[in-house]
A and B are shown apart, each in its own frame.
Chain A
Amino acid sequence: MTQTFVEIGRTMDKGSRRTRMAGAVGDLWDDTNWIVRIAALLGLVLLVLAIFAPVLAPYDPVAQSLLSRLGPPLGIEGAKAGHWLGTDELGRDILSRSLYGLRLTLGVAFLGAVIGMLIGGTLGLAAGLLRGLVDDLVMGLVDIQIAVPFTLIALLAVAILGGDLQVLVVVLGIAYWEQYARITRGEVLRLREMPFIEAAQASGASGTRIALKHVLPNLMSPLVVIFTVNISNIVLLESTLSFLGLGLRPPTATLGSMVGMGRDYMPSAPWIVATPAILILLITFVIQMLGDWLRDRTDVRLRDR
């Protein structure tokens, strides 16, 4: 999307800020709050599973056992004892691998989103506060970032720099920085005109103080919304790269690379891809749902409909 379509409408309402982003979502979920509650609950479960993966996983995620290769999940004939969700082509326990994969997928996505927010937030803040050349430069970079499909850049970067954890996190971090930059800059430009900033200036507050004490806190709610939506985009990007074999080097597995590796065994052992695929679906579903809900909450125009 280019700027042409991205209009940021703003309304002040009872002292809270409400931001509208283009590509608005239906009001369906507003009425059906229980779906949002289920999503939140699911999200919590996924988080707990990810955090406590080392405690919960019954096996070492990379330990191979050729005797128990390709065992189906419990309840299906031929299941290997102790492997609830079956084993993969090297006899590794799918439950354990999925838990660790979930942990890595979410961890990498969270770090990536934080990096994106730091880069985008800083540049957006600088652009909005300093204006002039800095503004032009930052917005020029934003334009370029929007113009090129990031998957291409990611392909190039990972192919050149290799499948290290650091490379992956940085690539994911710069994938969506421009969203933070745009929103931050827009909000800063709006806030600059507010009476309370004028009052701070009149009472002699320094530029840094105004930026940190008066502007930054007011940016939090729009940034939180983007951060949430962002995590699901990053999970998708990471899963796609890993699926294609361009993520971390084996045997370390994220959910995406588990699906990618298990693809060859689909006809005979579909359970290898089933668990990680379902987990990816759940993550994107939960985050999109919560993100949409957050966005609707903070959007006057949508809620009026």
Chain B
Amino acid sequence: MLGYALTRIVRMAITILVIVTGVFFATRLSGNAVDFIAGEGLGADDRAKLIAYYGLDSSLWEQYRRYLYSFADGNFGISFIERRPVSTIVMERIGPSLQLLFGAIALTLIVAVPAGIVAAIHRKSWIGSAVTSMAFLGYAIPNFILAILLILTLSFWLGWLPSSGSGTWAHFVMPLIALSAALIASLTRFTRNAMLDVLSQDYLRTARAKGLPERTVIFKHALRNALITILSVLGLQIAGLAAAGNVVVESIFDWHGIGEMLVSAALRRDYPVLQFGVLSVAVAVILINTIVDMAYAAADPRVRLSNA
């Protein structure tokens, strides 16, 4: 187990270093960022001052070195637009994003696990087909189209919910649904398949042969074994899907989280914010994935034996 954990941690460190480096050089690719923020009528003097202000006057390697240092002292630069430290801006955005994320995880677990179990048990009947079809639809609908459909019906036609913004619980409903739909669909499919995998195992036949009631077989023997896989998938999938989903859903509903920040920074070419935001989210996702992976390996010896 220790060997497996070490391998994973080293791989994680390499991944993070590559991304940190990649993001740095990518943002320097486009020429001098000062020319984007300052516009046309900038004199040579002022231009030089601005370049020095943002620390863009030194050599690329010097900038890279300072950039790496910034991870130690927490000084990640100043937003081109808001003229505030990017770390402050990102910190403000984490709370709203987490709200939405935890809400989505809770909703996903509540809906998807039971739905997946039902689909697996009744896979030959219409109930199973209905659940599978719903999951298929949920997966095939892009979240921005779902969001727009929700706004069109629930806000404009029925007038039940506000179309954007945050503050009350009513603002929470549509973003939550739009963010969760794909997660629910994907976890339902995984739960169904994980349950089917377990249900076809020999020990399940043994359990039935012993004369155990079907309920005990399903919940005690099958679900418990499937649950490890289901929870790991949730951990791995959610981190990635939610990061991507957040970007879209938060922008549509004007929810002031990290995702909305990233999009507006990208649109306004606010590189310091974009750079630090992308890094924060990427590192968070990688951390979560590594932890989930290690937890999964700890729970299931087959994984670490085949992978270490």
B26 interfacial contact with A, CB 8 Å? yes
With beta carbons under 8 angstroms apart, the residue of B15, B239, B247 that contacts A151 is: B247
Closest to A285 in B: B140
Decide if B144 touches A240 in the complex (CB within 8 Å): yes
> Which residue of chain B lies nearest to A282 when distances are taken between CB atoms in the complex?
B140
- Among B61-69, B71-79, B204-212, B279-287, the stretch in contact with A: B279-287
Select one of A150, A160, A246 contacting B267, CB under 8 A. Answer: A246
A277 at the interface (CB under 8 A from B): yes
A140 within 8 A of B: yes
Q: Is A26 an interface residue (CB 8 A)?
A: yes
Which residues of chain A from 253 to 297 have a CB within 8 Å of any chain B CB? 256, 259, 263, 266-267, 270, 273, 277, 280-281, 284-285, 288, 292
A244 at the interface (CB under 8 A from B): yes
Secondary structure of the A side of the interface? Answer: helix
Q: With an 8 A cutoff between CB atoms, is B97 at the interface? A: no
Minimum distance in angstroms from A97 CB to a CB of chain B: 17
Besides A2-B236, A148-B282, 5 other CB < 8 A contacts?
A26-B119, A147-B286, A156-B278, A159-B269, A259-B145
Residues of B within 8 A of A232 (CB): 140
Is A134 at the interface (CB under 8 A from chain B)? no
CB distance from B286 to the nearest CB of A (A): 5
CB-based contact A152/B289 at 8 Å = no
Bound-state CA distance A63–B156 (Å) is: 30
Contact code string A123-159 (vs B, CB < 8 Å = 1, else 0):
0000000000000000010011001111111011111
A148 touches B285 (CB 8 A): yes
Query: Given the complex of chains A and B, what is the CA–CA distance between A239 and B248 in angstroms?
Result: 11
Q: Name the interface residues of B96-128: CB closer than 8 Å to any CB of A.
A: 119, 123, 128
A23 at the interface (CB under 8 A from B): yes
**A217 to B152, alpha carbons, bound, how many Å?**
49
Tell yes or no: A58 within 8 A of B by CB: no
Provide the residues of chain B in CB contact with A266, threshold 8 Å. Answer: 148, 151-152, 156
CA of A26 to CA of B142 in the docked complex: distance in angstroms?
20
Task: Tell me the chain A residues, 1-51 only, with Cβ under 8 Å from chain B.
Answer: 1-5, 23-28
Q: Is B240 an interface residue (CB 8 A)?
A: yes
Interface centre among A28, A161, A281 (most CB of B within 10 A): A28
CB contact between B193 and one of A24, A152, A281 (< 8 Å): that residue: A24
Alpha-carbon distance A9/B190, docked complex (angstroms): 17
Cα-based distance from A160 to B268 in the complex (angstroms): 11
Complex: A227 Cα to B200 Cα, angstroms: 31
B-side residues, CB < 8 A to A, are 11, 14-15, 18-19, 23, 26-27, 29-30, 119, 123, 128-129, 132-133, 135-136, 139-142, 144-145, 148-149, 151-152, 156, 186, 189-190, 192-193, 196, 200, 232-233, 236-237, 239-241, 243-244, 247-248, 251-252, 262-263, 265-267, 269, 271, 274-275, 278, 281-282, 285-286, 289, 293, 296-297, 303, 307
Contact A28 B148 (CB under 8 A): no
**Cα–Cα distance between A181 and B238 once the two chains are bound (Å):** 24
| Minimum distance in angstroms from B110 CB to a CB of chain A | 21
Q: Assuming the A-B contacts A4-B307, A160-B26, are A267 and B248 also in contact, with contact meaning beta carbons closer than 8 angstroms in the complex?
A: no
Q: How far is the CA of A144 from the CA of B23 in the complex (A)?
A: 13
Contact of A143 with B11 at beta-carbon distance under 8 Å, contacts A149-B240, A244-B248 already known: yes
Question: Known: A160-B30, A236-B142. Contact between A244 and B236, CB under 8 A?
Answer: no
Q: Which residues of A contact B132 (CB under 8 A)?
A: 26, 28
A70 CA to B95 CA in the complex, in Å? 40
Question: Cβ of B156: which chain A residues have Cβ within 8 Å of it?
Answer: 266-267, 270
Cα distance, A189 to B14, chains bound together (Å)? 26
B residues within 8 A CB of A23? 186, 189-190, 193
* Nearest CB in chain B to that of A27: its residue: B123
Closest CB-CB distance, A2 to chain B, in whole Å?
6
- Residues 96 to 138 of chain A near chain B (Cβ within 8 Å): none
Q: Give the residues in chain A near B145, CB-CB below 8 Å.
A: 259, 277, 280-281
Task: Tell me whether A147 and B141 are in contact in the complex, defined as CB-CB below 8 angstroms, given that A5-B233, A24-B193, A270-B152 are known contacts.
Answer: no
Provide the residues of chain B in CB contact with A4, threshold 8 Å: 293, 296-297, 303, 307
Q: Is the CB of B26 within 8 A of A156?
A: yes
Candidates B18, B29, B192, B271; contact of A161 at CB < 8 Å:
B29
User: Nearest chain A CB to B161's CB is how many angstroms away?
Assistant: 14
Check if B293 sits within 8 Å of A151, measured CB to CB.
no
Distance, CA A62 to CA B66, complexed state (A): 47
Q: In the complex, which residues of chain A have a beta carbon less than 8 angstroms from the beta carbon of B149?
A: 277
Q: Which residues of B contact A27 (CB under 8 A)?
A: 123
Let me know if A246 and B240 touch, CB within 8 A. no
A244-B251 CB under 8 A given contacts A26-B119, A147-B286, A281-B140 = yes
Contact, CB under 8 Å: B251 / A159: no
Inter-chain CA distance A244–B240, complex, in Å, is 19
Q: Which of B142, B148, B151, B265 has the most CB of A within 10 A?
A: B142
CA–CA, A243 to B267, complex, Å? 12
Counting chain B CB atoms within 10 Å of each CB, the highest count among A2, A157, A245, A284 belongs to A2
Question: When chains A and B are docked, how far (Å) is the Cα of A19 from the Cα of B105?
Answer: 32
